[in-house]
Amino acid sequence: MITLFMNNWQTYLTGFWNTILCSVLALIFSLVIGSAFAIMEILPNKVLRIIAHIYIEIFRNIPLLVIAMFFYIVIPQYVMKMDGFTAGTIGLTLYTSSFIAETVRAGIQAVDSGQMEGARANGLTYWQAMRYIVLPQAYKLVIPPLGNQFINLVKNSSVLAFLAGFDLMYQGQSVASTTFQTFSAYIIVGIFYLIITLPLSYYMRYLEKKMV
């Protein structure tokens, strides 16, 4: 296995790098988009609430692979050119953002309603109350489920393998098919995923402890 890695380390590292890049991009954008839709879902405005609801239900209930394929095949035909990496990252972002939206919404709703009321009575605007009082408490509450979402996101980035996205999984497949050492080739892939997800998992635990 070590020889296999030594002979193919460049292939693996390219994959490792692409998986990290895709995950980081998707994580940042899905957190931003997810939070925006979470807030839209709890606004008094009914139209925005319905829009957010439709968005979330669409992307939450369609398989990630289908969403990614849509951006890989349909969008380039009618809208704009897009490589597999970009299509996969966009698909992963939208898919994950719908789960993050639901998680963050639950967090906001779990914050005692007296917090918003106290802030409003104290003279803060709705958005000031959200920003300084409600959201910080909501994010703190949802660190554990958000951690799950982030870990899932990293693992789900393997969808890039279907779109020629040159991620870890894709590179592993190519090593397996050229060397015929299927077993070892995929073990190495697994180890690389652990190198990303384990520290992430421990970091989320650390955050959880630190913020209590």
Give the binding site for other proteins (CB under 8 A). Answer: 112, 114-115, 117-125, 128, 132-133, 136-137, 140
Neighbours of 18 (CB within 10 A): 23
Q: 3-class secondary structure for 16-70?
A: HHHHHHHHHHHHHHHHHHHHHHHHHHHCCCHHHHHHHHHHHHHHHHCCHHHHHHH
Task: Considering the complex, state which of residue 140 and residue 155 has its C-beta at the smaller distance from other proteins.
Answer: 140
Q: Which is nearer to other proteins, 115 or 184 (CB)?
A: 115
CB of 120 to other proteins, least distance (A): 7
CB 86 within 8 A of CB 124: no
User: Given the complex with other proteins, which of 10 and 113 has the nearer CB atom?
Assistant: 113
CB of 47 or CB of 212, closer to other proteins: 212
Contact predicate 124/131, CB 8 Å:
no
Q: Quick check: 85 and 165 in contact, CB under 8 A?
A: yes
Question: What does each C-alpha distance from 175 to 75, 130, 167, 188 come to in angstroms?
Answer: 30, 50, 12, 10
Taking the complex as a whole, the smallest distance from the CB of residue 124 to other proteins amounts, in Å, to: 6
Nearer Cβ to other proteins (57/112) = 112
CB of 208 to other proteins, least distance (A): 15
Closest separation in Å from C-beta 137 to other proteins:
5
Q: Which is nearer to other proteins, 128 or 177 (CB)?
A: 128
Q: How far is the CB of 132 from other proteins (least distance, A)?
A: 6
The CA angle 72-73-76, to the nearest 5 degrees, is 85
